[in-house]
Amino acid sequence: MEKETDILINGLLGQKPAACQQLLTDYGPEVFRMIQRFVSQREDAEEVYQDVFVKALRGIRTYNRQASLGTWLSRIAYHESLNYLRRRKPNLVYMEDHAGGIDALEAPEETSLDEQTVAQLERALALLPPHEQAIISMFYYEDRSLADIAYITDSIPSTVGSQLSRIRKKLYRIIKTF
């Protein structure tokens, strides 16, 4: 896999159209899902998506392999999404999974018992600021490590761990008010 990534990066550095297409094919869907968690309107999410890949292609020379290519692209998507929100402040539908909803993550036997809890959690998550929503999403829904999240958010792993702890407590307090 590492060799394939090296070939892809070399193609991108050489501005080869096939490499650009391969980048979009390999990483585009994941990047778009991440953006959609921030930006609820599809047209706006597509605009941010384009900005992410334009920025990535222009800045491919700055990619230093400190993180995987996917994590590097996620970092760009995270920052571009937050920049978009700062400029436009649209309504957020962050934690909704556009491929089936949060319920798709539950085991079938738990669905009937936990529907109210899931609904409360979704409502509580929607009340969090975008940065906190992003951390929860990356850790729990995208299975990213603390190190990857730290890289994406320009932080350090111990800070991300502390933020996760505070966010969990915050969610608990919010749910208790429902």
- Is the sign of the CA dihedral 175, 176, 177, 178 positive or negative? positive
Q: Is the pLDDT of residue 95 over 90?
A: no
pLDDT band at 155 (very low <50, low <70, confident <90, very high): very high
Burial class (CB in 10 A: 0-12, 13-18, 19+), 3: exposed
CA distance 159 to 146: 9
CA distance 48 to 130: 15
pLDDT band at 92 (very low <50, low <70, confident <90, very high): very low
Against a cut of 0.75, is the pTM above it? no
What is the biggest distance separating any 2 CA atoms in the chain, rounded to whole angstroms? 56
- Is the sign of the CA dihedral 42, 47, 48, 54 positive or negative? positive
Residue 19 amino acid letter = A
Q: Taking a C-beta distance cutoff of 8 angstroms, is the pair 68, 12 a contact? A: no
The mean predicted confidence, pLDDT, of the chain is: 85
The 10s digit of each residue's pLDDT in 30-56 is 999 999 988 889 999 999 999 999 999
Per-residue pLDDT at 98:
39
State the alpha helices, DSSP H only, in 40-156.
42-58, 69-88, 108-126, 130-136, 146-152
Q: CB 92: neighbour CB atoms within 10 A?
A: 19
Going along the chain from its start, the domains and CATH numbers come out as 2-88 (1.10.1740.10), 102-176 (1.10.10.10)
Mean predicted confidence (pLDDT) in 137-151: 93
